[in-house]
């Protein structure tokens, strides 16, 4: 028999059939010479390993500089070769005839370990074409991670899901307007993304280890210290803490609820075995920093204690910790992904720590310890550890498990195993997505040096040090404007890439006759003969989101599950689409092509400029605009209709009415405004008062004023608002001067983007504060963490919050900061800060109006 199916626990169970399951990943077992595919079966909620020694074919490595195009075409046509990859770089190692070849390939199901392990191989080179002894799984089947398959009579069969009737209807309407290639691509996406998102059975864990000394973390490499506690929280209701009983430690008081099961162990080895048994029960294991700490520590500790390797379910890689049979998701790596941070989680968190993320997304925090962790009584340790596992689990559970679902959708779109997708950035998602289609159409993936031949930038950036010119920002008309309609282009850049056929092989293409198809404002031209591959892929994804997923998510007669699915897919597509333009201009992206990014932005500027001109013709006043949006002053329904129809007809891009503000207040600054919606809800953009580093005290004052302004309905109301604002600011200014404001409310909170030592050149205030904290308290603020500090008189001008005293607060500085924060706001309304207080000097602000 060619294939056997291995169940998660019973290692040698041979099964020939497997009901609908999600493909997780595929690897190659070099010893057995077999492909191993990992599946998740959602009914039994188990992982199955499918071993297969069929359906894999050799790689073909070529030296592209030595191989002719004809030979390449022949190679592509051969059925006994799974993939053609070419050598990026060859290094001769010594006088042995061994070359180290850097290979370009990113097939997620490439046998040998996925994305990165194939990139560098050692081989002896005998000819310009070499069949590599390792194998690729039969990618021509188009196996997609995250998608459903079943196994019937030892064969892998894709599960066909019907496109729901309402999507089918929407598709029909839209598809009549696109070409055949796009239409089939869109249907393909719709079928893949319409597949259900099953429940994922999972357990979150967190471990505690005796630290070598206070404020120092145990080293997971050496794993010298005892594991003293571990907590599990799972999707099927498991809540437990495993504790190592230590003679020199008190029990303390149990504050955990009765639902939390506490298990005691006298022997650390038994504890570890119990931990591994639990891990084996779950197909998915969730940690926060498990790659670098928890799982790494457990694995190395087990080795140290002499536990047999086969009994340890963890496999350590260079910078990740995997599970032999399950899937490990390290949320630290997921939350550090900027794309997800901004587009999936609305930029709600900034600090990349468990506490920072959990506080922002869940409103839950870690338990603060006042004692050295090694001295904590057993039950207090249990409570602390349990809380961490609970928060970690909750991060995968909030908002209908949005995180797990979005990762699954991204795995499907990116054609990347879910655990890989959760660990890497957008450039790798998009690389994987594009590579998949290159292979399917038998196209060779271009090398960096080949792409470089397309050329450099054609425009000059406004900001020094940038590579090309970006979006256009319209000078705002300062003052208050009532009934402002905000229109924006739906997915502007992806739309431009679609409409204008932008791709690395179409911009500045080789055909003489295309050279007249110029992009205005640049020296570029675009191919008129062939459809560009990135244009097709990004364009079809865009169409799917804009024409189907966005409207369908809003439609009323949907089940809750359908609605959830549409929302999640729509979100995931937004993340991918938003990044698809950016990566084209990023050197690290393997398909980096500056002219594509440059041309996209140029066409964006042309689009918005043309629309502004059209508004002028229609007698509509444009008060502001930024990149893909226009703010129109009190347009009529007809005018809006006129302009949106025009955009759709003439530009081929949907211009949507996003919202109408009751009023908008612009200062003279770009990217700085305040808008009030009809229901009184306030949009604040870019104003200092909303920025995360601003002290609580200033934020509160700012938001109180905003609150007052939100009640304003008409021009006359502003008079009353002015009075209320004046009273409030005076009250707060007096409290500041009288040093009645608690210190923590005066703390600036700024992220350390680098380690302290890495700040060369200038030394900003927050870094100086971090230095003081390190010297005086031995507490180190690491990169990615936030430091709180107070602006003080003398001594460097700053003091970390922990060391500051009320008397040394630089009141004048804070007053100045308060004033500049309010200036942005009040400028727009035609007041000024001191005038509104009825005072001419700062001193009068403090004491004026007081009798």
Binding residues among 610-649 for DNA as defined by CB under 7 A: 626-629
Q: By CB under 7 A, tell whether 583 contacts DNA.
A: yes
Phi, psi angle pair for 732, to nearest 5°: -70, -40
Give whichever of 20 and 827 is closer to DNA, judged by the CB atom: 827
Contact 525, 509 (CB under 8 A): yes
CB of 576 to DNA, least distance (A): 11
Rg, the chain, Cα only: 30
Residues 12, 6: contact at Cβ < 8 Å? Answer: yes
CA nearest 343: which of 541, 550, 658, 574?
A: 574
- Measured from the CB atom, the residue of 377 and 471 that comes closer to DNA is 471
Helix axes 717-737, 811-829, angle to 10 degrees: 170
Q: Where are the alpha helices (DSSP H) in 453-532?
A: 492-499
Helix H or strand E segment including 93: strand 83-93
| 276 is an interface residue for DNA by CB under 7 A | no
In the complex, least distance from residue 431 CB atom to DNA, rounded to whole angstroms: 9
Which of 155, 699 has the CB closer to DNA? 699
Distance in angstroms (rounded) separating the CA atoms of residues 27 and 15: 20
**Is 471 among the residues that bind DNA (CB under 7 A)?**
yes
CA dihedral 65, 101, 116, 78 (to 10 degrees): 50
| HSE of 196, CA atoms in CB hemisphere, 13 A | 13
Nearest to 413, CA basis, from 167, 146, 107:
146
Q: Would you count residue 345 as binding DNA (CB under 7 A)?
A: no
Measured from the CB of residue 471, what is the shortest distance to DNA in angstroms?
5
Which of the ranges 56-64, 399-407, 542-550, 582-590 carries the binding residues for DNA, by CB under 7 A? Answer: 582-590
479 is a site residue for DNA (CB under 7 A): no
Q: Which of 25, 195, 300, 339 binds DNA (CB under 7 A)?
A: 339
Distance (Å, whole) CA 118 – CA 126: 20
* H or E stretch covering 191: helix 180-193
Q: Which is nearer to DNA, 61 or 486 (CB)?
A: 486
Q: What is the nearest approach in angstroms of DNA to the Cβ of residue 393? A: 24
Rule CB under 7 A: which of 193-222 touch DNA? none
Q: Dump the DSSP string for 634-697.
A: S--HHHHHHHHHHIIIIISS-EEEEEEEEEEEE-SSTT-EEEE-TTS-EEEES-GGG-TTS-HH
Q: Which residues share a beta bridge with 674?
A: 665, 684
Calpha distance 445→539 (Å, rounded) = 19
The only residue of 688, 705, 772, 792 in contact with DNA, by rule CB under 7 A: 688
Q: Which is nearer to DNA, 381 or 747 (CB)?
A: 747
**Least separation, in Å, of the C-beta of 492 and DNA?**
7
Interacting residue with DNA among 135, 284, 345, 581 (CB under 7 A): 581
Of 38, 57, 328, 469, the residue at the interface with DNA (CB under 7 A) is 469
Q: 35 has which bridge partners?
A: 28, 52
Question: Is 693 a binder of DNA (CB under 7 A)?
Answer: yes
Q: Does 260 bind DNA (CB under 7 A)?
A: no
Using the minimum distance from each CB to DNA, give the nearer residue, 57 or 431. 431
Footprint (CB under 7 A) of DNA, residues 712-771? 749-754, 759-768
Q: Is 672 in the site for DNA (CB under 7 A)?
A: yes
Kind and range of the H or E element at 788?
strand 786-791
- Least Cα distance to 429 among 670, 258, 638, 591 occurs for 591
Contact in structure between 477 and 624 (CB atoms under 8 Å): yes
**57 or 423: CB nearest DNA:** 423
Q: Does 794 sit near DNA (CB under 7 A)?
A: no
B/e letters for 761-777, b = 16+ CB within 10 Å, e = fewer, are: eeeeebbbbbbbbeeee
Q: How far is the CB of 669 from DNA (least distance, A)?
A: 4
Considering only residues 369 through 428, tell me which ones interact with DNA, judged by CB under 7 A. 423-428
For the CB of residue 767, give the shortest distance to DNA in the complex, in Å: 7
- Sites for DNA among residues 419-458 (CB under 7 A): 423-428
Residue 699, interface with DNA (CB under 7 A)?
no
Q: Which of residues 167-186 bind DNA (CB under 7 A)?
A: none
Binding to DNA (CB under 7 A): which residues in 482-511?
A: 488
Task: For residue 90, give the nearest of 114, 122, 43 by alpha carbon.
Answer: 122
Interface mask toward DNA for 284-323; x: CB under 7 A? ----------------------------------xx----
Output the smallest distance, CB 303 to DNA, in A.
Answer: 22
- How far apart are CB 520 and DNA at their closest, in Å? 17
CB of 762 to DNA, least distance (A): 4
| In contact, 508 and 593? CB cutoff 8 Å | no
| Smallest distance, DNA to C-beta of residue 228, A | 29
Among 166, 273, 639, 692, binds DNA (CB under 7 A): 692
Q: Which two tokens stand for residue 408?
A: 């699954």
- At 69, is the secondary structure helix, strand, or coil? helix
The footprint of DNA on residues 803-842 (CB under 7 A) is 813, 817, 820, 824
Residues that bind DNA (rule: CB under 7 A) add up to a total of 78
Stretch that binds DNA, among 204-212, 614-622, 680-688, 700-708 (CB under 7 A): 680-688
């Amino acid at each position: 028999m060619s294939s056997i199916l291995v169940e998660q626990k019973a290692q040698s169970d041979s099964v020939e059939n497997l009901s609908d399951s999600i493909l997780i990943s595929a690897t190659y077992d070099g010893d057995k010479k077999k492909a191993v595919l990992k599946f998740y079966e959602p009914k039994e909620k188990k992982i199955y390993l499918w071993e297969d020694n069929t359906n894999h074919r050799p790689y073909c490595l070529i030296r592209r500089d030595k191989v002719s195009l004809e030979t390449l075409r022949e190679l592509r046509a051969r059925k006994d070769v799974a993939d053609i990859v070419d050598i990026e770089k060859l290094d001769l190692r010594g006088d042995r005839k061994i070359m180290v070849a850097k290979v370009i390939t990113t097939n997620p199901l490439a046998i040998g370990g996925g994305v990165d392990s194939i990139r560098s191989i050692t081989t002896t080179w005998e000819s310009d074409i070499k069949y590599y002894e390792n194998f690729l799984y039969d990618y021509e089947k188009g196996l997609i991670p995250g998608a459903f398959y079943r196994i019937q009579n030892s064969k892998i069969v894709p599960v066909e899901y019907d496109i729901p009737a309402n999507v089918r209807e929407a598709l029909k309407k839209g598809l009549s307007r696109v070409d055949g290639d796009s239409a089939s691509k869109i249907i393909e996406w719709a079928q893949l993304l319409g597949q259900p998102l099953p429940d994922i059975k999972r357990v979150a864990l967190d471990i505690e280890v005796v630290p070598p000394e206070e404020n120092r973390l145990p080293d997971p490499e050496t794993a010298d210290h005892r594991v003293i506690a571990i907590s599990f929280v799972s999707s099927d209701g498991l809540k437990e803490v495993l504790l190592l009983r230590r003679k020199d430690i008190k029990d303390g008081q149990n504050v955990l609820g009765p639902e939390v099961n506490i298990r005691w162990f006298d022997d650390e080895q038994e504890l570890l075995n119990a931990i591994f048994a639990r891990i084996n029960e779950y197909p998915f294991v969730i940690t926060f920093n498990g790659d670098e700490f928890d799982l790494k520590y457990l694995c190395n500790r087990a080795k140290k204690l002499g536990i047999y390797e086969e009994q340890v379910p963890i496999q350590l890689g260079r910078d990740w910790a995997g599970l032999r049979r399950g899937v490990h998701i390290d949320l630290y790596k997921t939350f550090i992904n900027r794309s997800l941070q901004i587009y999936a989680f609305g930029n709600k968190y900034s600090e990349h720590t468990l506490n920072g993320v959990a506080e922002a997304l869940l409103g839950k925090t870690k338990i603060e310890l006042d004692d050295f962790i090694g001295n904590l009584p057993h039950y207090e340790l249990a409570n602390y550890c349990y809380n961490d596992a609970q928060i970690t689990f909750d991060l995968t559970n909030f908002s209908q498990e949005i995180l797990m679902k979005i990762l699954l959708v991204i795995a499907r779109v990116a054609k990347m195993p879910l655990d890989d997708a959760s660990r890497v950035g957008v450039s790798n998602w998009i690389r994987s997505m594009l590579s998949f289609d290159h292979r399917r159409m038998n196209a060779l993936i271009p090398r960096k040096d080949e792409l470089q031949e397309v050329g450099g930038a054609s425009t000059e950036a406004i900001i020094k040090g940038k590579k090309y010119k970006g979006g256009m920002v319209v000078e705002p008309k300062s003052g208050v404007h009532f009934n402002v309609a905000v229109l924006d282009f739906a997915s502007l850049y992806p739309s431009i890439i679609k409409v204008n056929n932008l791709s690395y092989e179409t911009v500045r293409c080789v055909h003489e006759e295309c050279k007249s198809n110029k992009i205005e404002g640049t020296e570029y031209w675009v191919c008129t003969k062939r459809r560009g591959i990135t244009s097709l892929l990004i364009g079809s994804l865009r169409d799917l989101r804009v024409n189907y997923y966005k409207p369908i998510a809003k439609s009323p007669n949907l089940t809750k599950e359908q609605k959830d699915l549409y929302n999640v897919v729509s979100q995931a597509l937004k993340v991918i689409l938003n990044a698809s333009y950016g990566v084209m201009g990023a050197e690290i992206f393997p398909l980096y092509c500056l002219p594509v990014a440059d041309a996209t932005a140029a066409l964006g500027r042309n689009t918005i400029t043309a629309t502004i001109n059209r508004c002028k013709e229609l007698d509509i006043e444009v008060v502001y605009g930024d990149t893909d949006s226009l703010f129109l002053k009190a347009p009529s329904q007809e005018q809006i209709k006129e302009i949106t129809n025009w955009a759709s007809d003439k530009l081929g891009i949907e211009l949507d009415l996003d919202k109408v503000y009751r009023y908008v207040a612009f200062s003279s600054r770009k990217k700085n405004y305040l808008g009030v919606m009809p229901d009184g809800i306030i949009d604040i953009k870019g104003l200092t008062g909303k920025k995360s580093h601003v002290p609580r005290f200033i934020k509160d004052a700012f938001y109180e004023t905003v609150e007052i302004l939100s009640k304003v309905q008409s021009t006359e109301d502003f008079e009353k608002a002015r009075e209320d604002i004046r009273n409030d600011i005076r009250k707060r200014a007096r409290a500041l001067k009288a040093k009645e404001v608690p210190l923590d409310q005066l703390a600036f909170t700024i992220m350390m983007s680098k380690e302290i030592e890495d700040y060369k050149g200038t030394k900003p205030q927050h870094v100086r504060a971090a230095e003081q904290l390190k010297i005086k308290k031995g507490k180190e603020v690491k990169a990615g963490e936030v430091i709180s500090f107070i602006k003080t008189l003398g001594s460097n001008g700053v003091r970390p919050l922990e060391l500051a005293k009320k008397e040394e607060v630089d009141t004048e500085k804070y007053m100045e900061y308060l004033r500049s924060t309010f200036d942005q706001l009040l400028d727009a309304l035609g007041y000024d800060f001191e005038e509104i207080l009825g005072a001419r000097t700062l001193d009068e602000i403090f004491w004026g109006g007081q009798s």
